Amino acid sequence: MTDAVEQESAPRRGRESENDENSRADAGHSRADAGGSSRQGKESEIPIWEWMVAALGLLLVLASMGFMLHRALLGDESAPEFSFHIDSVSPRRDGFLLFFGAENNGGTIASSVLVEGELDVGSGAPERSTVTLDFVSSHSLRSGGLFFRSDPRRFPVRLRAVSYANP
């Protein structure tokens, strides 16, 4: 009976020794992997230029957020204030087209801005033309055109905002 027990335990020892060898081999791989990962760690360090690009991106995001916060807390809420300039005049079959720019120098948005152009032809009532600009943001420029029968290059022109609506 003791022989049978020894025989059974012998294969176990053989298996255990195989497992020990496998464990030692795995440990060898682990040591090699550990050495390899330390080499990979050095190779995978983030280059300085990537840090600089990341810092620039962070700076842009923070600056944008600061600007929006500043505008929200201390923004200009003044009424729309328009200034106009004449860009050009183009002859047409039935008159002339005056191209102009309208700038909203105020702190709020204006919609449905009615612009009137008045042409002082000298005799009688001035010639008038109007146009509606749909939307003019604060501190922005829009352009438009007014039609006249007389040539605006020959007579004084006055442009003004007649009305607007809050969007």
What is the CB-side half-sphere exposure of residue 83 using CA atoms within 13 A?
5
Q: Which residues contact 132 (CB under 8 A, 6 or more apart)?
A: 112, 113, 114, 115
Per-residue burial over 89-112, b if 16 or more Cβ lie within 10 Å, else e, is beeeeeebebebebbbebebebee
- Of the candidates 102, 113, 99, 101, the one whose C-alpha atom is nearest the C-alpha of residue 147 is 99
pTM for the structure as a whole:
0.58
Query: Do residues 86 and 103 touch, judged by C-beta distance below 8 A?
Result: no
The residue type of 135 is: F
Alpha-helical runs (H) found in 44-129:
48-74
What the block records as the tokens of 154 is 């020959």
Bridge-based pairing state of the strands 157-165 and 82-92 = unpaired
Can you give the three-state secondary structure of 64-87, one letter per residue?
A: HHHHHHHHHHHCCCCCCCEEEEEE
pLDDT in tens, the chain (167 residues): 555 555 554 455 555 555 555 555 555 554 445 444 455 556 679 999 999 999 999 999 999 999 888 877 877 788 999 999 999 999 999 999 999 999 999 989 999 999 999 999 888 899 999 999 999 998 899 999 999 999 999 999 999 999 999 98
- Of the candidates 97, 93, 84, 87, the one whose C-alpha atom is nearest the C-alpha of residue 152 is 97
Q: Please tell me the predicted confidence (pLDDT) of residue 32.
A: 47
Q: Please tell me the predicted confidence (pLDDT) of residue 124.
A: 83
